[in-house]
Structure 1
Amino acid sequence: MRGVLKLLLFATFIITGSLAAVLGIDYGQQNIKAIVVSPQAPVELVLTPEAKRKEISGLSIKRLPGFKKNDPNAVERVYGSAVGSLATRFPQNTLLHLKPLLGKSLEDESSVTLYLKEHPGLDMVPTNRSTIAFAVDGVEYPLEELVAMNVQEIINRADSLLKDRDPRTEDFVDKVSITVPDFFGQHQRNALLDVSSIATGIKEMYLVSEGMSIAVNFVLKQRHFPPGELQHYIVYDMGSGSTKASMFSILQPEDINEPITIEFEGYAYNPHLGGAKFTMDIGSLIENKFLENHLTIRTDELHANPKALAKINQAADKAKLILSANSEASINIESLISDIDFHTSVTRQEFEEFIEDSLLEIVKPVNDALAEQFGNYKTNLSDVNGVILAGGSTRIPIVQEQLVKFVSEEKILRNVNADESAVNGVIMRGIKLSDSFKTKPLNVIDRSVNTYSYKLSSESDLHDVFIKGSVYPNNTFALTNSSDSIPESFTIDLFENEKLFETYKVNSAVVKNSYASEKCHAGVAYNITFGLSSDRLFSVQEVSCICLNENDVDESKQTRNRNTRLNIASKETEIQRLSTPELLNLHNHVKLLDKQDNKRFQLQENLNILESDLYDARNLLMDDEIVQNGPKSQVEKLSEMVRVYLDWLEDASFDTDPQDIISRIREIGILKKKIELYLEYSKEPLNSEQFKGMLEEGNELLQAVEKHKNTVEGFLSEFETAYIDTIENVREEFKKTKYPAYISKALSTWEEALTSFKGSIIEIEALLAKNLFGEDLRERLFEIKLRFDTYRASLEEKLHLIKSGDESRLNEIKKLHLRKFRSQKRKEEKLKRKLEQEKSERNNQTEPVINNSTNKEDTPVNDKTTESNPSFKNDILHDEL
């Protein structure tokens, strides 16, 4: 947490009104990290259920026993470290590392083939939107839903974290900022936005560049840069699935009070070079060694066994981590195939020789980023101040060796947390974009790595709108060439790097008559407004039809022409987004599964509690003191209960009634407590003298109850006499005065507690009357004393509360009297002043009153004036009375 704490010390958060929280997610191919920020958790890493800092990207979906195979609701979802072991046992149910498939179709053979090689045994199927889904036990899950489940699970843990910090808090996650590779296209970005619609509670999702996230974290961590000196850095980010090189310039203005500017300068990437590729390479080495040592196993036989391949991949991933710090890694795979246990080793030298042909690919993104800088940037490698290493795969020795050879050791910067720099940066960008908190200001200039173009249906050429390197978010417009005719409709095709991804249909029939050639002498043109959003989504925002006059054909005079906004509708060409009904159905399905998961988790937790209590009870029964001096009937009862309930636990399932479990936990607890209390009472005589003393204490408590009632009655009688002029019915007002809420709740069982205690008194009186005492009756005497002590403690507590509550109610009656008394006094004083004023006015009514503006006398008050003012007349009558 050290890096996060430094970030917290540097960034000052000021709440801007919302109680909701912002969640930053570094969505990696293999692992996910998350940080939540709220008033209750200024900067808090969201740990996994196993208290780990990073989450496995993916989940396992298992059908619950006893349900139909294709029932989409009868499933159990598993997240976290347990998923790793399930991948080798149930590869067909374990859905890992889904990120590279977002926005893709099965037609993308390179991505699909590579994915299935890394994750054998999965059943990949197409959707009606040309996207990818997975069939698990007869149920199809769209890829967006599976990713939403992963995101939702993290949101749920973040919400639980906030609740644990303060159970009274209303903080919850409603804004999510998530890292996205700059090479992600429109379909991939739209897929992530659909994920936010499926997950529960997300009002806003922000797609933030991975490279920019790391650059922001670097700036906030470094804190000090030479004022007025433009510096250049390259973020080299090698994760599990891809490698990116992002160039940035950083400028601290000479006025250090001005914000630092971070500007995106250049970019290059390899979408398939990363930790997963190196894992597969080591897997190939292990596979080759196994086949060499077991000639009876054919390659196609091994490749047809998903569990065997999953075991090899898992062993290769472990070996890759070991080889980052050691020269050799031992490989031990139990029952790899045909019950064969395989043991071998892989050396670092073997691994590096195996990948020798691809070593140049390691530094190629850096070289390409330098060669393909945006705009007028022409920064040379010698001008680069440093290369920032990010991503877990940069720890691989051969990767660092190649980078050092290319850029030199002194320029390799390892002072950011390779695993957490992206999540630290994305949460800061999320806070800024959501405007939830105030932070240290940064001037961020983000640029597109792709070129966006359009083409009209009437044309054959593409028109660039936002070229590679364009700043976003941004809006612009394009004016089409004038035309004499207006079609019923036309289309606008949108392209990303010359690849068609969306088509807009424009309905122009509505203006066809009013914009005819005889009315628009210079023809008709269309003004198209394009947008590149903060999520880097390219779209048509508005299309207007412009009627051109002969004298106004140049652009400077367009504002004087008639301009009509047209209706537009968009449609994805090949890969389509989820429709609103589909999003709603998936949202409700995820919500239902979450509810079932919570129910199952609570059920399992209660089963674990019951099991633990049963073993504790069994240990208690084995205690020597319990065996020798414990209450025999209770010991026998608990012993039988432990035996029966342990057998019952073997058959407990998802359908088990939760209340049944809670009831059994309560039974075990009560019985254990009774046995423990029996031993505590072992030194008490439990004879007639002790019970006579208990009877006396009980009667004193009942007398105290009656005394309190009489005390309250006495006060009410006094109040009736003292407050007769202010409160019409004192007792009625006392009844209407409520106890404080906490007292009212506690006293809801007052009558029950009083009745139970009186019953205990009667039981003791009967016992004394019959003189039923002796060692053989000790267990029964213990039960009677236990009931007496329990009921007495309860009644004493409630009597204390009722005394406090009644005192409060009586004080409220006093306050009511004082309020009414003061109100009466105020009314009397007011009436007295009014009568004195009226008397003074009557005495002076014959004297002339000079008007300052007219110098005329006012009309004196007469009988008509009195009649027209009922309140005045009534006051006189009151005075006469």
Structure 2
Amino acid sequence: MSVIGFDIGNENCVIAVVKQRGIDVLLNDESNRETPSVVCFGEKQRFLGSAGASSAMMNPRSTVTQVKRLIGRRFKDPEVQTDLKIFPFDTSEAKDGGILINLKYLGETHSFAPVQILAMLFSHMKDVAEKNLEMPVVDCVIGIPSYFTDLQRRAYLDAAKIAGLKPLRLMHDCAATALSYGIYKTDFSSTGPTYVAFIDIGHCDTQVSIVSFEVGHMRIVSHAFESNLGGRDFDEVLFGYFVAQFKEQYKIDVNSNIRACIRLRAACEKLKKVLSANSEAPLNIECLMDEKDVKGFIKREEFERLSSALLDRVCIPCKKALADATITVGKIHSVELVGSGSRIPAIAKLITSLFGREPSRTLNASECVARGCALQCAMLSPVFRVREYDVQDSNPFSIGFSSDEGPIRTPSSNGILFPRGLSIPSTKVLTFQRSSQFHLDAFYADPNELPAGVSSRICTFTIGPLQGSNSDKARVKVKIQLNLHGIITVEAAMVNNIHFHAIFQ
């Protein structure tokens, strides 16, 4: 039996496995450590991962990328609509308000939910792991963004289940990064906690966590995020710049041609990487469209000027994480910068200015989440013996409950059952006086904490029927848990020590 850590990124996936002598990142069939998060449907077969990325140009409208942006979201969300304008595949609204991805496959049009596409990616990652290890893979820990809602977390579990995986935990990306950083450290102070800021600038988002380390223990003090600020946004700045330039210089409209858009975006991503190490960079694409070869050129100064609005937003989640942790910049021992979008020099300068120190790059920027997830999986699995190390994550959103009679209030909670920053997992027991079946509604108590466009409603639990009660009003005890995945569940409902069902809706 093996234990695996999965980082299903918006652009690439990474698989890490714990072995007797440490942690290894597994190679895919092309001997690469990262696998593209791509599912492509050809005329007669389906291509996954690297094969999907290679086939994307031949089947642009049947190639699904960045499915992580769509999982557990509503079709009419403003953020979703903005993303859909970039994607080449067709989408429509499902009956439940979700998203359907409409693709041509085997000569017919098929509609897939994002969770099905994600399950295909999980299945491919599972196959890659099993080929490497030559044994079945079931137990795993999966990295997710801290801003994922209850619905998105459930969708991830559903996708993993479809693929034949058993997630032992959905772990926040920054928590996984902190674990892969802290478990090997031996120089933490013995007189008090050591605070480290982890800044993860990924392909589509920015996450920041302040983490407290002590010997044998780590605790997430605060989470902050910007769900719409990542490497791809800087790519879009370059894309827009060259679209305008080519329209004026070559009289072509790149936006009118799907293949041209895909090629130019890929070229802009490479150009951004070149600008990270050089002060200027050229762009050359043969036969972009209308049989025209195009050339472009940009300096790093110009790129930073065009990206100034994006760069200004980088510091916002950093300041919020510090404020929520109620500590000053001076107490931060180190700043760890990771993520595929973290290599832009201007971002490092901003973080240096904010924290008063150069950010460290102790960890592998692309592999740290998967490595941390693999470590956590080993800790949770009965198969492995791992050094005693306590990982204490925290709840990113305040969660409240209401019943048929109104909001549920307790003396210390001010109407919030699971406050933001509360350790997870966490359990609460509520007592009701009821004579018949009733409902409990879970909701996010502060909409300002959520990503834009996300509904405050989480779910509804039906408690009953209460046939076991012998009086007009019986005392009903309901055990509610914010579990290890960060998902709200009703663990038990009892009347006079008799268990009743709680139905999730």
TM-score under structure 1 length normalisation: 0.53
Residue 240 (structure 2) pairs with residue 284 (structure 1): yes
Picking from 70, 92, 106, the partner of 1:125 is 92
Residue 114 (structure 2) pairs with residue 114 (structure 1): no
1:369 & 1:42 partners in 2: Cα distance?
A: 32
Quote the residue 2:461 is aligned against. Answer: 504
Task: Report 1 or 2 for greater relative contact order, CA contacts < 8 Å, sequence distance ≥ 6.
Answer: 2
What fraction of aligned residue pairs are identical, expressed as a percent? 22
Superposed, which structure 2 residues align to 1:259-658 within 5 Å?
A: 260-295=216-251, 297=252, 302-373=254-325, 378-410=326-358, 412-459=359-406, 463-480=415-432, 482=433, 486-487=435-436, 489-497=437-445, 499-511=456-468, 514-516=470-472, 523-545=473-495, 562-571=496-505
Partner of 1:183: helix, strand, or coil? coil
Can you list the C-alpha shifts for 1:348-377, whole angstroms capped at 9, x where unaligned? 11111101123221111111101122xxxx
Quote the residue 2:9 is aligned against. Answer: 28
Picking from 95, 106, 131, the partner of 2:64 is 95
Quote the residue 2:150 is aligned against. Answer: 186
Picking from 130, 134, 144, the partner of 1:159 is 130
What is the root-mean-square deviation of aligned Cα atoms in Å?
2.0
2:123 & 2:182 partners in 1: Cα distance?
A: 30
Letter matched to residue 390 of structure 1: V
Quote the residue 1:852 is aligned against. Answer: none
1:569 & 1:541 partners in 2: Cα distance?
A: 11
1:23 & 1:503 partners in 2: Cα distance?
A: 33
Superposed, which structure 2 residues align to 1:461-860 within 5 Å?
A: 463-480=415-432, 482=433, 486-487=435-436, 489-497=437-445, 499-511=456-468, 514-516=470-472, 523-545=473-495, 562-571=496-505
Give 1 or 2: higher helix fraction.
Answer: 1
Partner of 2:363: helix, strand, or coil? coil
Quote the residue 1:865 is aligned against. Answer: none
TM-score under structure 2 length normalisation: 0.91
Q: Which runs of 5+ in 1 are unaligned?
A: 1-19, 65-74, 164-170, 253-259, 517-522, 546-561, 572-881
Q: Which runs of 5+ in 2 are unaligned?
A: 410-414, 447-455
Partner of 1:310: helix, strand, or coil? helix
Distance 1:355 1:161, change over 3 A: same
8 Å Cα contact 2:283-2:295 kept in structure 1: yes
Partner of 2:176: helix, strand, or coil? helix
8 Å Cα contact 1:36-1:45 kept in structure 2: yes
1:48 & 1:461 partners in 2: Cα distance?
A: 50
Letter matched to residue 373 of structure 2: V
TM superposition shift of 1:99? 0.8
Aligned residues: 487
Can you list the C-alpha shifts for 1:497-547, whole angstroms capped at 9, x where unaligned? 4511211122335246x213xxxxxx54432211111111112222234xx
TM superposition shift of 1:96? 1.2
Letter matched to residue 397 of structure 1: P
Quote the residue 2:47 is aligned against. Answer: 77
Segment of structure 1 superposing worse, 88-97 or 178-187: 88-97
Partner of 1:262: helix, strand, or coil? strand
Letter matched to residue 158 of structure 2: D
Quote the residue 2:23 is aligned against. Answer: 43
Quote the residue 2:450 is aligned against. Answer: none
8 Å Cα contact 2:431-2:477 kept in structure 1: yes
8 Å Cα contact 1:193-1:205 kept in structure 2: no
Letter matched to residue 159 of structure 2: V
1:497 & 1:78 partners in 2: Cα distance?
A: 40
8 Å Cα contact 2:203-2:231 kept in structure 1: yes
Letter matched to residue 569 of structure 1: I
Letter matched to residue 462 of structure 2: K
Quote the residue 2:42 is aligned against. Answer: 62
**Larger Rg over CA atoms:** 1
Partner of 1:346: helix, strand, or coil? strand
Letter matched to residue 247 of structure 2: L
8 Å Cα contact 1:450-1:468 kept in structure 2: yes
TM superposition shift of 1:134? 1.5
8 Å Cα contact 1:60-1:78 kept in structure 2: yes
Residue 182 (structure 2) pairs with residue 222 (structure 1): no
1:457 & 1:335 partners in 2: Cα distance?
A: 64
TM superposition shift of 1:85? 4.3
Give 1 or 2: higher strand fraction.
Answer: 2
Letter matched to residue 533 of structure 1: N
Can you list the C-alpha shifts for 1:442-463, whole angstroms capped at 9, x where unaligned? 1111110111211101225674
8 Å Cα contact 1:90-1:307 kept in structure 2: no
8 Å Cα contact 1:235-1:388 kept in structure 2: yes
Segment of structure 1 superposing worse, 357-366 or 281-290: 357-366
Can you list the C-alpha shifts for 1:457-493, whole angstroms capped at 9, x where unaligned? 122567421111111112111123x46xx24x22111
2:205 & 2:301 partners in 1: Cα distance?
A: 23
Quote the residue 1:793 is aligned against. Answer: none
